[in-house]
Each structure stands twice: as structure tokens, then as C-alpha cells.
Amino acid sequence: MSAARKLGLSVLLAGLAGAAAFWFLTEPKRLEPETVALLANGDAARGERMFWAAGCASCHARPKAEGDARLELAGGMELKTPFGTFVPPNISSDPQDGIGSWSAEDFGNAMLRGVSPDGQHFYPAFPYASYIRMDPSDVGDLYAFMKTLPAVQGKAAENQLSFPFNMRRGIGLWKLMFLSPEPAVALPADAPEQVRAGQYLVEGPGHCGECHTPRNVFGGSDKSLWLAGAKAAEGEGNVPNITPGDDGIGSWSASDIVAYLETGFTPDYDSVGGSMVEVQRNMAQLPAADREAIAAYLKAIPAHPKGY
């Protein structure tokens, strides 16, 4: 065999090996059986709390929906980002156009692993990178509540993404780099229980870091600047720093934070604006103890300079 043919064969074999490695590394990873078992027997009453904490209506209700219409999760909002336009899907209980035919295991794989029932990666515009920190029993409760919501017919439009972002398989590499159930902040061992409860809500279902933390060139959260503020995902304006320093909300007391989450008014009597309007409406639905825990956590985390 000539040297040229040997070289060509070596390149071909290396390419095949690389393709096989890529396919193996990017394979969607589903929940372990023991975790799936924790999703069973969810309680819808408890799940309503998780629904508001997780902000499901903020993205999946029809744009500008009000009142009970916020529970009609038809999707359709357009999220325009540097990676393309993401369109949250119908997640109503409709069995054809929504998720009415999903099992608890299907729902758990979506929330905690970012994997669809047919084995595809979801894009991380769906904040499973935060939801992965949720207790599986809370996910089971949320599933039970979702089944009580209205069935809405009609599929949302498809995402509009250019190459290479339209290749879902590549999300597997992103998950290897950035998908982790570990806490974003290492609290001290003697941290009060209220602060730990707030950490769970903020870092998990509340997914506050998805907007308030800057991202690197690969779209992963820079946890060294956790909640330090970031460029808005849709490219206009900045999301504020909510750490307890001079560049953030250091001048706010815990009671100021609680009042803001409940009423939408800042200590200076300014009102909530932008995409935070929907978030605040969700937070107002939570028990007072949850808002107090969130405030305690935000006062306990490290202060950072602005992340934008």
C-alpha cells in the first residue's frame, strides 16, 4: 500500500473514531430508575407552588395573557437571542399538541435532564440547567398539577436557528460542560435553614441565575459572577446585579426584597418592569415564607461587581 493510501486510510479511521466518540459523548442521558420512582404519587396542591416558583406561565402562556388565561399554556412567545429565535412549546394537558400524553418519567426527564420523550436534547433556553437542582418529588408534584390545567389545541411555531445551533445532538457537549446538580453557591456549614430554603428556590425552580448571571461564549453561566447581572438574552439592555453589594441591591433590606417580590415596588417606589413583571407576578403567588427565604439567601451570597 502506498504512503498516500495509508495516510488517507489513517485519516478516515481517525474521522470515524472521532464521530463515534462524539455520538457516544452526546447521547441523551435519562433518569436513573431510583429517581423515576420518586416522581410517582405527586400532589397537585403542592405542585401549584412549584408551578409559580418555576415560572412556567412566564414563557408558556400566550403572550400578554391575563388572569386564568395564564394557565392556558399554549406557548408561542418568541425569544430572540444571538443563537436564534426560540419558541416555547405548548405544554398544556392536550394529548396531541401539548404534553398530556407524557408520563411522569417523561416529564422528569425533561425537567431534570433536558431530554424529550423521543430521546432528543432540549435546548437550554428551557432552564433545565437550573431545574436539575430540584427535588424529584417536587417535580412529581408539579407534574400532578400540570395535569389539572386546561388542554389547549394548537402547536407553537418551530424554533428558528441557524447552523450549527440547529443541531440538537451537539447540546450533549454543552451538557457535559455546564449541566450539574451542584449548588451555584457553597453556603457555610452553619448557614440558617431559611437561607438554605432560599437557595433551593433561587438556584432550582426559580432559575434566577438564568437571567441574572453572565454567560461565557458557549452560553454557560459564569458562576464566579453568580447573580451579578448580565446582558439581556434578547440583546437589549441589561439584567441587574442582585447580589448584596454596592453594584447590586446591597442597600435593600431583606424586608425590601420581600415587599418587591410581593408588590412589584422597589424601596424607592419604582415599579417592576421588563421581563421581571412576569417573574414578580409568579413570586407574589408563593407563600410569604418562600419570599422571605429568597430574601435571606440574596442577603447571604457573595457580593460581585456588575457582570455586564
Per-residue pLDDT of 66-87, as tens digits, reads 999 999 999 988 888 888 899 9
The CATH number of whichever domain residue 263 belongs to comes to: 1.10.760
Side-chain half-sphere CA neighbours of 11 within 13 A = 6
156 and 41 share a domain? yes
- Residue 211 and residue 103 share a domain: no
Domain that holds residue 158: 33-178
Number of structural domains in the chain: 2
Do 95 and 197 fall into the same domain? no
The residue written with cell numbers 447590586 in the block is 248
pLDDT digits (tens, 9 = 90+) for 139-179: 999 999 999 999 999 999 899 988 878 888 889 999 999 99
Q: How far apart are the first and last CA of the chain?
A: 58
| Long-range contacts (CB closer than 8 Å, 24 or more residues apart) made by 231-235 | 231/308, 232/275, 233/79, 233/81, 234/79, 234/80, 234/81, 235/80, 235/81, 235/82
44 inside domain:
yes
Predicted local distance difference test score (pLDDT) of residue 83: 83
- Average of per-residue pLDDT across 253-258: 98
Residue 34 confidence (pLDDT) above 90: yes
Do 235 and 279 sit in the same domain of this protein? yes
